[in-house]
Amino acid sequence: MKSYTDNIKEISKRLLKEDKVDMVIGYRTGSVPLMHQPFFAQNQEEVDEFVWDSNCGLNLANYITDRTERIGILATGCNSRNIAVHIVEGKIKREQLYIIGIPCKGMVDRHKLSAMADGDITSVEDENNGSITITGQNFSKTVDKAEVLQENCSVCVHRNPVIYDELAAEEVTEQKRDDVDPYARVKEIEALSPEEKWAHFDDLLSDCIRCYACRNACPLCYCPLCFVDESNPQWVGKSIDHTDVRTFHFLRAYHCAGRCTDCGACVRSCPVGINVRDFTKKLEKDCLELFDWEAGLNTEQRPPLDTYRPDDPEEFIK
Amino acid sequence: MKVIRIDKNDWAEGIEKIRKTYSLIGPVKEKFYHIFANLGSGQMPDMEFTNSRISPKYIIYPQSEIILKCSMNAEEEDYKIYREPEDKEYKEKAVLGIRPCDADSLPVVMRNFDTDEYKDPYWLRAFETTTLVGLACDAPCPSCFCTSAGSGPYNHKNLDVMLIDNKDHYLAEIITEKGEKLAEAAGWQDKAEGIADEIAKRKSDAESKIESNVHTDNLAKQPLLDLYEATSIWEKAAFACINCGTCTYVCPTCWCFDIQDEVYGREGFRIRNWDSCMYPLFTLHASAHNPRGTKLARLRQRFMHKLKYYVDKYENGIQCTGCGRCVRLCPVNIDIRRICNMMNSYDPETCTCEATVS
Amino acid sequence: MENPYIPYPVRIDEIKTETEDKSLKTFKFVFLNPEDEEKFSYRAGQFAELSIPGIGEIPIGIASSPTEKGFVKFTIFKTGKVTSYLHSMKEGDIMGIRGPLGNWYPWETLEGKNVVIIGGGFAFTTLRSSIIYMLDPENRQKFKDIHVIYGARSPGMLLYKDELESWAARDDLNMHITVDSCDDPEWTHHTGFVPTVTEQEGPAGTEDTYAIVCGPPIMIKFTQPVLDKLGYSEDRIIMSLENRMKCGIGMCGRCNIGKEFVCKDGPVFTLQQLNQTPKEY
Ligand SMILES: Cc1cc2nc3c(=O)[nH]c(=O)nc-3n(C[C@H](O)[C@H](O)[C@H](O)COP(=O)(O)OP(=O)(O)OC[C@H]3O[C@@H](n4cnc5c(N)ncnc54)[C@H](O)[C@@H]3O)c2cc1C
Ligand code: SF4
Ligand code: SF4
Ligand code: SF4
Ligand code: SF4
Ligand code: FES
């Protein structure tokens, strides 16, 4: 995706030169394959470090919470929606931001690619033609990008940014809900019996070490003191008791309901590869079905669990 | 040193024998990755692995460990009097296939848990009852830098036995008495003679495959406060960090912990859990003052601890064995090799440093 | 192998509310096993972990003096989980203490010297221990002039009021008590902040005069320039730090300032030492 990178650099340099922003937040090339680093540039040389390809997975909305500078920021579909959520929730002002919209073709899943490789991957080439080539000491393999996309990207229906000041490339064709079913996995779980569901979630969380990387990678989890960290009262114990682990995951998912954009940063960051999207995606589906709501599509409306409407589908609230 | 030849056909039988006296732990593949886990009866270690995703430190230092116990029942004699749990057993255990870099992390951590004034009985007892059967590393990961971090792919100095995979057999260096005892229990006694040169060659081959390194020669000489105040190092690095603590949880040489009390039924437990300098709560005072209240301060603490405070305090190298886990797993690619080289090359006069990863 | 995590069981022998707002209480503990008192042999300036089974452990400076036998005393400010629980406990309740931990004021160095003690708020606990220790008939002649400057918000917020009065009545100790403000016409002591009183009443910082300073950060910040002016060199200003602690034995990793652990290498440091470490306290 050379042209993406070039355009991003050009726009960023212009913004800094014209003193429209104090910094531009993007990514620079990582020191290991599949891992680019969120990075802020304040001058032309730093902008030259910018890169864009399918390894830019961590959500940049994380980096603008409560900042006071004028910020240029790259935003894919999901990132732009998280920026919108931030604006609605008062974590940043729209006027502070110059949003460089990135029509997104999806991020690759490093767990899947590693599992396909015959050894350690030393370099990844994104051909920008729908294929990815991974190379290691004794192998080189070209795979179809669609097969190694992060799961959230492969079912994404908002690839183009929803708010932006300028696009860095032409819009991409959106996937339609008729072509990809974003909730196929949720439906599989919904179809399980209560016992099977319990077993599924038990297994899902069995390796969790409660490092909270999933929470910290999430732009929604900006609370100064997370409920799991509170000591007075202490809601959750701190050792690896299964009840506490579940409590953390269930409650966090609910705190994100109607706000989560399925950016996948949580799953990407988990050191033990837990698919916490099994929780958040279900709540996303519920919000769509019950409230006809998708998070972060505009900068005015507050999320449904935060508002009251007389036509609320739940009886108890009326 | 005694070297034994273990035919791979006899491997399983030997393991069955040692199972009688040791509980066994070894690499097993789970979903995508390898972890070290208890080997159930009949289960064999999967020795075809690079290294476990998370370090095996939890074998000796569990993530969550009950250290004291008492009754919460006023009728009982130990009501609210904490004691060591009587049911804590330290059975002999053997770890099969641990990599040299992970074994080399143990003396690094021991300097914290075994001091002149205080000894941590839990860590030490677990350490003493563990026999380490290491596996030399012939195909190190591209992100490992053990040879410049005081370890190496054939480093056997902290192993009891070191296995070298040699096609249809293992060569086993018997390093300590513990190792001798284990080899005896397994019935491995087929002496391999005249292979010293071959092992030396294998060792240098493996070492030459380590592509990356860190420069540490200057760290001890750098004035501590100059490094601490080197904002040119800390500001850019801290920006990306999300304080997730992954780097410290997966690291074999990180030892920090928290102590918590919990009550289950009518018993009280004092439990120690891994903790991390990356978390704001780690240092938060009850008054809400936090001496390391910023992300920058916390990130700096991690690197200053590993690469400066530790270096100065123990004069025994850095608090890192170059296993590369934090490099591979940090979700935002904060690379200790890069930071180490920046700290090593920092010039307080000009406030500049070289940011290289080689 | 001695297990450094096991607390000595103690019984709460007496609880005294110290301040008018009831936020500070002094707890007197008696060891359940008399031989533990021997093992818990301490110096003024050290601290201990108070252990409440099922609730948690907190580091607290020892307020009693090694010269007082048969009990140990701590004065505790109610603030969070453990301290609140402790404030709800009753005389006779069983809990634990673990220690003594950390270093102490440099008593060997202080022998033959003038000592000025400067304290503010409830950080007066180990200073009480020190005063009682120095005033002990066995010890008093080891020290030259002793000054104590102690301040609180109001008269009702002063700790150890009876003792303060009895010290003020002595002629082998110069006692300067102060409160931020006071409208009681009977108040015979100073009004004003500790730094100001130090400037007026504090002895000059000669070669053989040492200052021990303990108090809230704001007091320390403004007292330091005053001590400078009075001529105290950095190595003759002694301070006691508080950082969040868990193990108290230099293992859990949280209380460090640079390579020093406040729990094990401190809590007592000279200003000279502190100026060579990161200011992470
Ligand atoms: C050397 C030393 C001496 C002290 N002496 C006294 C004293 O004489 N009297 C007094 O009232 N207080 C003293 N403190 C402060 C006291 O330890 C804290 O107020 C107390 O730990 C708060 O615990 P909590 O559970 O009520 O608060 P929470 O906020 O609920 O804290 C939970 C945990 O955090 C830790 N923690 C929180 N704040 C602090 C802090 N400021 N210092 C250390 N650990 C903390 C503790 O481990 C505590 O268990 C001292 C602290 C230190 C380090
Ligand atoms: S990142 Fe993974 S291991 Fe860590 S708390 Fe989240 S799910 Fe658990
Ligand atoms: S793993 Fe990376 S992002 Fe997470 S705390 Fe460590 S350095 Fe920061
Ligand atoms: S700091 Fe990183 S490379 Fe070094 S031992 Fe820890 S995890 Fe391994
Ligand atoms: S790097 Fe941080 S978590 Fe690791 S041992 Fe040091 S202080 Fe503890
Ligand atoms: S309190 Fe644990 S190291 Fe100081």
Q: Is C246 in the pocket of ligand 1 (CB under 6 A)?
A: yes
What is the number of the ligand 1 atom nearest to the C-alpha of C79?
26
CA of A224: which chain B residue's CA is closest?
B280
**B-interface mutation test, from C1, C2, C3, C242, most B Cβ less than 10 A away:** C3
Domain ranges, ordered by start, for chain A: 4-107+149-304, 109-148
Q: Looking at beta carbons, which residues of chain A come within 8 Å of B338? A: 31
Rounded Cα gap, residues B93 and B88, in angstroms: 14
Burial of A150 (0-12, 13-18, 19+ CB in 10 A): buried
Phi first, then psi, for residue C152 (nearest 5°) are -140, 175
- In the reported structure, the alpha carbon of residue A240 is separated from the centroid of ligand 5 by a whole-number distance in angstroms of 20
Q: CA of B283, closest CA in chain C: separation in Å?
A: 5
In a 3-state reduction of DSSP, which class is residue B90? Answer: coil
Residue scoring higher pLDDT (B25 or B33): B25
CATH number at residue C45: 2.40.30.10
Q: Which of C52, C76, C254 to mutate to test the interface with B (most CBs of B within 10 A)?
A: C254
C250 domain-assigned: no
Mean pLDDT of B324-331: 92
For residue C19 and ligand 1, the question of a CB distance below 6 A is answered with no
Q: Which residues, 6 or more positions from A152, have their beta carbon under 8 angstroms from its beta carbon?
A: A78, A262, A263, A264, A267, A277
The domain ranges of chain B are 2-52+91-208, 224-264+274-345
Same domain, C74 and C115: no
Q: Is the shortest distance between the CB of A209 and ligand 2 below 6 Å?
A: yes
Identify the bridge partners of residue B269 per DSSP, sorted by sequence position: B69, B262
**pLDDT score recorded for residue A224:** 84
Nearest atom of ligand 4 to the alpha carbon of B322: 3
Backbone angles phi, psi at C54, to 5 degrees: 85, -10
Inter-chain CB proximity C1 and B282 less than 8 Å: no
> What is the 3-class SS of B246-292, one letter each residue?
HHHHCCCCCCCEEEEEEEECCEEEEEEEECCCCCHHHCCCCCCCCCC
Q: Does B284 reach chain C within 8 Å, measured CB to CB?
A: yes
pTM given for the model: 0.91
Rounded Cα distance, A307 and A87, in Å:
16
Q: Closest residue of B to C248, CA-based?
A: B118
Query: Inter-chain contact B82–C96, Cβ cutoff 8 Å?
Result: yes
Nearest CA in chain A to B244: A213
| Helix (H) or strand (E) segment spanning residue C126 | helix C125-135
> With a 6 A CB cut-off, is A113 part of the ligand 2 pocket?
no
Structure tokens at B162: 């070191």
Residue of C nearest to B85 (CA): C6
pLDDT for A1: 45
Give the residue from A278, A136, A135 showing the smallest Cα distance to A204: A278
Identify residue A275 by its one-letter amino acid code: N
Is residue B187 predicted with pLDDT exceeding 60? yes
Which chains sit next to A, with 3 or more Cβ pairs under 8 A? B, C
Distance C60 CA to ligand 1 centre (A): 7
The minimum CA-CA distance between C86 and chain A, rounded to whole Å, is 14
Shared domain for C196 and C113, answered yes or no, is yes
Q: What is the DSSP-derived secondary structure letter of residue B191?
A: B
Residue nearest to atom 2 of ligand 3 (CA): B330
Identify the segments of chain C with pLDDT beneath 70: none
Tell me, yes or no, whether C96 and C113 share the same domain.
Answer: no
**Cα B34 to Cα A207: distance, rounded to the nearest angstrom:** 12
> How many domains are there within chain C?
2
* Residue C88 and residue C33 in one domain: yes
Q: Is residue C278 part of a domain?
A: no
C271 belongs to a structural domain: no
ipTM: 0.91
- Residues within 8 A of C (CB atoms), B 198-217 only: none
Residue A318: per-residue pLDDT: 57
Question: Across the interface, do A35 and B330 touch by the CB < 8 Å criterion?
Answer: yes
The answer to whether A37 contacts B333, with C-beta atoms less than 8 Å apart, is: yes
3-state secondary structure of A73: strand
A245 lines ligand 2 (CB under 6 A): no
Which of left, alpha, beta for B270 (phi over 0: left; psi -120 to 50: alpha)? beta
Closest ligand 4 atom to residue B101 Cα is 5
Decide if pLDDT at B120 tops 90. Answer: yes
Same domain as C95, residue C75? yes
Q: Which residue from C minimizes the CA distance to A232?
A: C81
Q: What is the dihedral of CA C220, C223, C224, C230, to 10 degrees?
A: -160
Whether residues C133 and C192 share a domain: the answer is yes
Q: Is the minimum distance from the CB of C253 to ligand 5 under 6 angstroms?
A: yes
Q: Specify the higher pLDDT residue, B268 or B349.
A: B268
Query: What average pLDDT score do residues B231-254 get?
Result: 92
Given B84, B258, B283, which is nearest C3 (Cβ)?
Answer: B84
Closest CA to B141 of B63, B244, B230, B34: B34
Asked if residue C224 is part of any domain, the answer here is yes
**Residue C75 CB–ligand 1 contact under 6 Å:** yes
Q: What angle do CA A167, A169, A175 make, to 5 degrees?
A: 95
Residue with tokens 């394959």: A33
Helix axes B336-345, B295-304, angle to 10 degrees: 80
What is the C-alpha to C-alpha distance for residues C270 and C281, in angstroms, rounded to an integer? 14
CA distance A93 to A95: 5
A234 touches chain C (CB under 8 A): yes
In sequence order, what are the residues at sequence separation of 6 or more whose Cβ sits closer than 8 angstroms to the Cβ of residue B69?
A: B82, B83, B84, B85, B267, B268, B269, B270
- Mean pLDDT, residues B275-285: 93
In the reported structure, the alpha carbon of residue C9 is separated from the centroid of ligand 3 by a whole-number distance in angstroms of 41
**Inter-chain touch A231–C81, beta carbons under 8 Å:** yes
Query: Which residue range forms the structural domain that includes residue C37?
Result: 8-101
What stretches in chain A show pLDDT beneath 70?
1-2, 313, 316-318
Instruction: Report the residue of chain B nearest C94, measured CA to CA.
Output: B80
Q: Is the CB of A31 under 6 A from ligand 1?
A: no
**So what's the pLDDT on residue C218?**
85
Give C60 to chain A, closest Cα distance, Å: 19
Nearest atom in ligand 5 to the alpha carbon of residue B276 is 3
Co-location of C52 and C77 in the same domain = yes
Distance from C-alpha of C134 to C-alpha of C175, rounded to nearest angstrom: 14
| Nearest Cβ partner for B256 among C32, C56, C254 | C254
